[in-house]
Chains A and B, each alone.
Chain A
Amino acid sequence: MPEGIWNKCPECRNTSTKEEIVENMWLCSKCDHHFRIDSPEYFKILYDDNKFELLFEDIVSKDQLKFEDLKPYKDRLVAAKKKSGFNDAISVGVGKVNGKKLVTACMNFAFIGGSMGSVVGEKIARGIDYAIKHKLPFMIISKSGGARMMESAFSLMQMAKTSAKLTLLAKAKLPFISFLTDPTTGGVTASYAMLGDVNIAEPKALIGFAGPRIIKDTVKKDLPEGFQRSEFLLEHGFLDFIVDRKELKEKISDLMGYFRK
């Protein structure tokens, strides 16, 4: 999300004001570059009149392992909260999209790189419970570097936990829309992000299991242009379609219509 008054597009170097970008749904007015945005922006785009209810906001991370690398995890959590204004790397909202109710769990990249720890898993789990209870469709907007290392195997097991819960959503015959945005990698790709009844993505988003740097180090050659971008995944059969942010709301609304009984 652009921060200063003037912002340069990382793609085409076009300079525009923050207002202009916000006005244009956080897209570059010249080249349509999708700036990275988090849950408040996506909820604003999706929900009618920006009206929605945030759910499970009282669930916050705990440093169970007393993990410490160059900095204690505990301090990282405090700093992340202060810097991003989010309680964790995901926010769950419920509201109406063109009058149709939808539960959305949207990842916040600004909180420790959108990393998936226990809180992300628990909020998705509760979001699914909520959707089942109220018979509502469920969407996850992924934007994450993967599992949160500071929660070690607990974060790994969130892949299992969220997938387990998705099987219950499927049994209730409720749709799961997986919307992948830049970036979606690691354990998030290897669990819920790839398990949608429909998998859709924003243009040019980086999507993959292993990160490009690791792959480059492993295969010891340059990666082809466009490797692991949305268009590449669409071509290889892992996405249903790519959606421009400007069409997002209508497309989601349409999908909900198709899924309706």
Chain B
Amino acid sequence: MHFLEFEKSIETLYEELEKVKTSQSKTEVDMSSTIEKMELKIAEERKKIYANLSDWQKVQLSRHPNRPYTNHYIEMIFDKFQEMHGDRNVKDDKAIIGGFAQLEDQTYMIIGHQKGVNTKLRKYRNFGMANPEGYRKALRLMKLAEKFNKPVISFIDTPGAYPGLEAEERGQGEAIARNIYEMMNLKVPVMCIIIGEGASGGALGIGIGDRVVMLENTWYSVISPESCSSILWRSWDYKEQAAEQLKLTPKHMHKFGLIDQIIKEPDGGAHSNPKQMAKTVKRYIKKVTEELCAIKPQDRINQRIEKFSQMGFYNEDAKA
């Protein structure tokens, strides 16, 4: 188990609990009531900490190494999954995965950013930073879904689109722009679920949907707090302030009308109980599939376009 700096008090309690558990198994003395009390105390402590998280702490949580990633949700939610590779042009991008998934009698097309769970896999997945071919693979799969009338689910979790030489050569900007444009007009229902980091164009490149929702401990912004700090404060030391100023939490995003809903996480965050988290997401997917399938395709597209067309704030008075 990995503990973040603000979880230190829980870590201490955990260590104590482990000691008690070990001595119980060694001495064979029943300590179950002590264990129960300690577990309760941990739960309470966790609740207390999680009720008062700063925006920056939420950003840290969204990057928690034990947090469930796209492949975990696929495994926990769906009965079957067939991964499909490649953009049919350059190569297979490992930072975005996709394929058909079956949930009871409904087939979905899943796409999502994929991060790695250990050092080797993190590198293999390029830390969830996609290249143009990743976005183009996603688009190919979404078009396939459209052809066979399957709803699309997109899991978003990226620190950004990859800023590399080859990414630029192959048109990172064009790939993201094309996806945004094409997703506006997909004839099938599209749900986008932000499960971790929603960093800028890299997130938006698979982020246009009839429903865009965020899990409770995630963020969505035009730039990461660190990069924002380095550009606007000209120093890396203002990430906490930048996180506050960017108003990147689900609560803000929902209040602004930029996302449709916040999905509650288990006490202690998604990583403390991935199964329960997946159950909540599964329930959401089933409910929204029903809602969206009841709308005529053209109406759905019109509503999608209308929703994004309304986003923005401005005054309409030159004297202001």
| CB <8 Å contact, B231 and A154 | no
Check A209/B168 contact, CB under 8 A, given A152-B222, A190-B173.
yes
Check A153/B228 contact, CB under 8 A, given A164-B184, A209-B163.
no
Chain B 153-166: CB-based contact to A (< 8 A → 1; otherwise 0): 00000000111110
**B42 at interface, CB cutoff 8 A:** no
Q: How far does the Cβ of A240 sit from chain B's closest Cβ, in whole Å?
A: 13
Residues on A with beta carbons closer than 8 Å to the beta carbon of B247: 65, 152-153
Of B165, B177, B221, B245, which contacts A192 at CB under 8 A?
B177
| CB <8 Å contact, A208 and B314 | no
**B316 at interface, CB cutoff 8 A:** yes
| CB <8 Å contact, B165 and A215 | yes
Residues on A with beta carbons closer than 8 Å to the beta carbon of B314: 59-62, 118-119, 122
The docked-state distance in angstroms from the alpha carbon of A193 to that of B176 is 11
Looking at B26-34, B67-75, B80-88, B200-208, the stretch in contact with chain A turns out to be B200-208
The docked-state distance in angstroms from the alpha carbon of A152 to that of B222 is 5
| CB <8 Å contact, A60 and B311 | no
| CB <8 Å contact, A209 and B172 | yes
Which of the four size classes fits the interface of chain A? Answer: 35 or more
Q: Which of B197-243 contact A (CB under 8 A)?
A: 200-201, 204-205, 207-208, 220-223, 228, 231-234, 238, 241-242
The docked-state distance in angstroms from the alpha carbon of A105 to that of B135 is 28
**A141 at interface, CB cutoff 8 A:** no
| CB <8 Å contact, B256 and A153 | yes
Q: Which of B86-119 contact A (CB under 8 A)?
A: none
**A166 at interface, CB cutoff 8 A:** yes
Q: Which of A137-154 contact B (CB under 8 A)?
A: 147-154
| CB <8 Å contact, B228 and A121 | no
Residues on B with beta carbons closer than 8 Å to the beta carbon of A108: none
The docked-state distance in angstroms from the alpha carbon of A156 to that of B201 is 7
Residues on B with beta carbons closer than 8 Å to the beta carbon of A121: 311-312
Q: How far does the Cβ of A76 sit from chain B's closest Cβ, in whole Å?
A: 10
Q: How far does the Cβ of B227 sit from chain A's closest Cβ, in whole Å?
A: 8
Residues on A with beta carbons closer than 8 Å to the beta carbon of B1: none
Q: How far does the Cβ of A125 sit from chain B's closest Cβ, in whole Å?
A: 6
Of A68, A215, A237, which contacts B164 at CB under 8 A?
A215
Q: How far does the Cβ of B23 sit from chain A's closest Cβ, in whole Å?
A: 50
Contacts between the two chains (Cβ within 8 Å), count: 197
Q: How far does the Cβ of A224 sit from chain B's closest Cβ, in whole Å?
A: 8
Residues on B with beta carbons closer than 8 Å to the beta carbon of A22: none
| CB <8 Å contact, B222 and A164 | no
Residues on B with beta carbons closer than 8 Å to the beta carbon of A151: 222, 313
Chain A 45-85: CB-based contact to B (< 8 A → 1; otherwise 0): 00000000000011111101101111000000000000000
| CB <8 Å contact, A194 and B177 | yes
Q: How far does the Cβ of B156 sit from chain A's closest Cβ, in whole Å?
A: 13
| CB <8 Å contact, B222 and A155 | yes
Q: How far does the Cβ of A187 sit from chain B's closest Cβ, in whole Å?
A: 6
Of B167, B253, B308, B309, which contacts A153 at CB under 8 A?
B253
The docked-state distance in angstroms from the alpha carbon of A68 to that of B228 is 12
Closest to B174 in A: A194
Q: Which residues of chain A have a CB within 8 Å of any CB of chain B?
A: 57-62, 64-65, 67-70, 87, 118-119, 121-122, 125, 147-161, 163-168, 186-187, 189-195, 207-211, 214-215, 218-219, 223-224, 227-228, 236-238
Q: Which residues of chain B have a CB within 8 Å of any CB of chain A?
A: 161-165, 167-174, 176-178, 180-181, 184-185, 200-201, 204-205, 207-208, 220-223, 228, 231-234, 238, 241-242, 245-248, 253, 256, 258, 304-305, 308-309, 311-318, 320
Instruction: List 14 A-B pairs, Cβ < 8 Å.
Output: A57-B318, A70-B234, A151-B222, A156-B204, A156-B221, A158-B311, A160-B204, A160-B308, A164-B305, A191-B180, A209-B161, A219-B164, A236-B169, A236-B171
Closest CB pairs A-B (n = 8): A210-B163, A189-B173, A118-B312, A69-B232, A209-B173, A209-B172, A190-B176, A156-B222
